[in-house]
Amino acid sequence: MNFKLNKSFLNANEAKYIIFFDFDETYFPHDCTDELLKNLNELEEYLHLLVQKQFLKIGWVTGSDLNQIAHKMERANISYSPHFIASNLGTEVYNVSEKGDLLPNKEWENRLKKVNFSSDTVKELESELYNVYNIELVEQTQLGQKGYKWNYYYFEKSKTKSQYDLKIISHVAKLNGLGININRCNPKAGDPKGAFDVDFIPLNTGKKEIVKFMIKYYQVPLANTIAFGDSGNDVEMLKTVQYGYLLGNATEEAKGLHDNVTISHYSLGILEVLKKLFPNP
CA distance 101 to 96: 6
Task: Give residues with Cβ within 8 angstroms of 160, minimum separation 6.
Answer: none
Sign (positive/negative) of CA torsion 90, 92, 96, 99?
negative
Backbone angles phi, psi at 143, to 5 degrees: -90, -30
Q: How many residues are listed for the chain in this entry?
A: 281
Which of 22, 24, 197, 230 does the annotation list as catalytic? 22
CA distance 266 to 258: 17
* Pairing relationship of beta strands 102-104 and 92-96 according to DSSP bridges: antiparallel
Q: Is 22 a catalytic residue?
A: yes
* Residues that are catalytic: 22
